Amino acid sequence: MRKVPKWFSSISVIALVGVMLAGCGGNNANNAETTNNKPANTATNETTNTNTTNDTTNDAATTPDPNAPVDGGTLTIGTFSDIVSVNPIYINDTSSGDIENLINAKLYDLDRQGNLIVEPWSIAAELPQISADGKTYTVKIKSTAKWNDGQPLTADDVIFTYNTVRNPDAGAPGISTVDKVEAINKIDETTIEFKLKQVYAPFQYSLYSSVVPSHILKDVPVKDLKTNAYGVDPAKTVTSGPWKFSEWKQGQYITLEQNPNYWGEKKPHIGKIIYKIYADQNTEVQALIKGDIQMSEAIPVTQIEGVKANDKLQVILEPGPLYEYVQFNFKDENFPDKYSPFKGQKTRQAIAYALNRQGMVDNVLKGTGKLMNSPFLPGSWADPGDQAVNYQYDAEKAKALLAEDGWKPGKDGILEKDGHRFSFELQYNAGNSRREQVAAVIQQNLKDVGIEVTPKGIDFATWIDQNITPGKFPAILLSWSLSNPDPDAESIFSSKYFPPTGQNGGWYKNEAIDALWTKGQLTIDQAERAKVYQEIGKEISIDLPYVFLYQYGLPQVVDASKVKWAEEDAPESSLGYGYLYHAINWWVTE
């Protein structure tokens, strides 16, 4: 079956926050264009190095440095779904996000740990100044920033963008990221002041965002913005990034060309970027092998071996900012016998012990994943590390915990308690082969400890409509995307966010943890804040509203014989859209 687009398999609040806010950031400002001070062997990977060994001769003066960036050339990237609109205000899917990232400059960018930073290609000139009471953020932008039609990019554009997102008539998915904003004031042409209603630490990542041109869009009625040609018609999509949107052949390809009016001090090397849409991922992999495309952001894990066999192709296996989980429902009415079997903490811990998570990573993900024990991305600044409980696969311990919690084997071997059989339906979206396989492993693992699981695949749209949004399911297998690096996840775990308005669809309530999420939002100092999330990581991994399974990703493949980057510009899988991290510094050879 058709592989569902990435967004389909990982809807998320957190991704939402990251909708406008995803992109390529960087950690090193002083790299690249000056090739003479760079040692010849800083190029990226084995293939490049072997290709260049015979070039290390002493006539370097006459032979061009093979590791020096080349300007021009075309990078063709394979993808599996078409874009919707590249208007940053409305981006809600990965393909559109990919393009949006390359054609827009962002106010701020990210380093590899997810810290907000200023890059040569960021619109901002310096990090935001936060007032002593934590409620005012002052942003200064570069006076050199320009739109690709030559108009200057000013404070008016920034203010227009945020006010549009804030306006409910606009229907922007990022609205919840700016709902704490009280007012946005223009101090001068390059200075903007954001006034918040309350202290809200996650707001800093709302500044990791693209800007739309007010001179093009200010006269469009807000409710018509979504149907406006901006973002759909290349000729009308004025942007500020290194490349511009130049052609869209629906269902087939998108072409980006260098922005002739690009204002950044560092210019892109790659002349043209083509996104080619492949309906079938097997065909996409064959196109990589044949050389029709030079990169794929994601190939199926089943194709890894075949791709690795090809010398010129480099596979990047680091997992992305996504994690899969099993969520329990605590509300009795969601079960056929009006009894949620998941209410005992020991029962939930027993399930965590009973699941062979490492086995799932090794066998289903083919090694492209890492165990997760809390809702925070491993390696990020909020990662609680060892503070979170790591449930090692142990069926005996699981059985003991279930017995302690009052479950006794019934006639058919399935556990019972107070006349209720421990049997539940585990839902996932039909057609997602990874979840199909993991659901089967869960079914087997839990059967071993006396719990009956019925996996059920449901059409994605139907599932969201009837089960996820209203919080009507016994248990689900799903994932969250953490493409916004802010660790705050109150809206999926706090009892303030029950359906239909919130996304705590399992009706989980733990007042101590609720209070910690609030504390995290009120703590501006990042080191202090990190401690709050360590505390949450510990508590939540004991109480287990979810069983956190693993961080995962789809392998990125690059034709290393053609696509080059310096080491400090390599892709960063752990960031949203990180497969194009620092693409401005990449180059292609023929």
Partner 1 sequence: MTEYLIRRILQSVLVLFLISILTFLMIHAAPGGPTQIFLAPGLSPEAAQIQAHNLGLDRPVPVQYAVWLGNLMQGDLGHTFKNHIPVGDILWPTVKNTMVLMGAAWLFSLLIAVPWGIYNSTSEYGLSDQTASFVSYIGFAMPTFWFGIILQEYFSLKLDWLPLSDMYTMGKEGNLGDLFMHLILPVSVLTLGFLAAYSKYSRASMLEVLSQDYIRTARAKGLKERRVIFRHALRNALIPIITILGLDLPILVSGAALTERVFNWPGMGRLFVDMAVAREYSVLMSITLVVSVIVVLGNLIADILYAIVDPRVQLGSKGGSST
Q: Is 411 in the site for partner 1 (CB under 8 A)?
A: no
**For partner 1, which stretch binds (CB under 8 A), given 249-257, 296-304, 312-320, 443-451?**
249-257
Q: Is 274 in the site for partner 1 (CB under 8 A)?
A: yes
How many C-beta neighbours within 10 Å does residue 395 have?
16
Pair 584, 240: CB distance under 8 Å: no
Q: Is 252 in the site for partner 1 (CB under 8 A)?
A: yes
- Torsion, Cα 103 576 458 296, to 10 degrees, reads 70
SS3 category, 247: strand
> Which parts of 366-405 interact with partner 1 (CB under 8 A)?
none
- Angstrom CA distances, 431 to 7, 185, 435, 437, stand at 14, 48, 9, 11
Determine the distance from the C-alpha atom of residue 145 to the mean position of all C-alpha atoms in its chain, rounded to a whole number. Answer: 27
Instruction: Give the DSSP H or E segment for 282.
Output: helix 281-290
- Torsion, Cα 68 74 78 83, to 10 degrees, reads 120
Q: Is 232 in the site for partner 1 (CB under 8 A)?
A: yes
Nearer to partner 1, 5 or 66 (CB): 5
User: Tokens 């510094």 label which residue?
Assistant: 585
Q: Is 292 in the site for partner 1 (CB under 8 A)?
A: yes
Nearer to partner 1, 64 or 168 (CB): 168
Site string for partner 1, 46-85 (x = CB under 8 A): ------------------------------x----xx-xx
CB of 198 to partner 1, least distance (A): 18
> Which parts of 434-463 interact with partner 1 (CB under 8 A)?
459-463
Environment class of 259 (CB within 10 Å of its CB; exposed 0-12, middle 13-18, buried 19+) = buried
CA distance 532 to 518: 10
CB of 227 to partner 1, least distance (A): 4
**For partner 1, which stretch binds (CB under 8 A), given 283-291, 331-339, 397-405, 579-587?**
283-291
Environment class of 518 (CB within 10 Å of its CB; exposed 0-12, middle 13-18, buried 19+) = middle
Q: Which residues contact 42 (CB under 8 A, 6 or more apart)?
A: 67, 566, 567
CB of 130 to partner 1, least distance (A): 26
**For partner 1, which stretch binds (CB under 8 A), given 38-46, 198-206, 281-289, 399-407?**
281-289
> Which parts of 132-191 interact with partner 1 (CB under 8 A)?
168-169, 171, 173, 175-176
CA distance 484 to 465: 25
CB of 69 to partner 1, least distance (A): 24
Q: Is 129 in the site for partner 1 (CB under 8 A)?
A: no
CB of 167 to partner 1, least distance (A): 10
CB of 562 to partner 1, least distance (A): 15
Environment class of 440 (CB within 10 Å of its CB; exposed 0-12, middle 13-18, buried 19+) = middle
Among 280, 404, 412, 567, binds partner 1 (CB under 8 A): 280
How many C-beta neighbours within 10 Å does residue 265 have?
10
CB of 216 to partner 1, least distance (A): 17
- Longest Cα–Cα distance of the chain, Å, equals 85
Q: Is 297 in the site for partner 1 (CB under 8 A)?
A: no
Q: Is 526 in the site for partner 1 (CB under 8 A)?
A: no
Question: β-strand 556-559 against 313-316: which pairing, if any?
Answer: antiparallel
CA distance 220 to 132: 38
Nearer to partner 1, 25 or 231 (CB): 231
β strands within 98-150, DSSP E: 109-110, 116-117, 129-130, 136-140
**For partner 1, which stretch binds (CB under 8 A), given 328-336, 465-473, 547-555, 577-585?**
465-473
Q: Is 102 in the site for partner 1 (CB under 8 A)?
A: no
Q: Is 13 in the site for partner 1 (CB under 8 A)?
A: yes
CB of 383 to partner 1, least distance (A): 24
Among 3, 9, 16, 130, binds partner 1 (CB under 8 A): 16
Q: Is 290 in the site for partner 1 (CB under 8 A)?
A: yes
Q: Which residues contact 364 (CB under 8 A, 6 or more apart)?
A: 301, 434, 437, 438, 441
The helix-helix angle for 526-543 and 511-522 (nearest 10°) equals 160
CA distance 266 to 33: 8
Nearer to partner 1, 39 or 251 (CB): 251
**For partner 1, which stretch binds (CB under 8 A), given 47-55, 244-252, 311-319, 359-367?**
244-252
CB of 366 to partner 1, least distance (A): 21
Q: Is 302 in the site for partner 1 (CB under 8 A)?
A: no
Q: Which residues contact 542 (CB under 8 A, 6 or more apart)?
A: 345, 349, 389
Site of interaction with partner 1 (CB under 8 A): 2, 4, 8, 11-13, 16, 19, 76, 81-82, 84-85, 92, 168-169, 171, 173, 175-176, 223, 226-228, 231-232, 250-253, 274, 276-280, 282-283, 286-287, 289-290, 292, 459-466, 468-469, 491, 500-501, 503
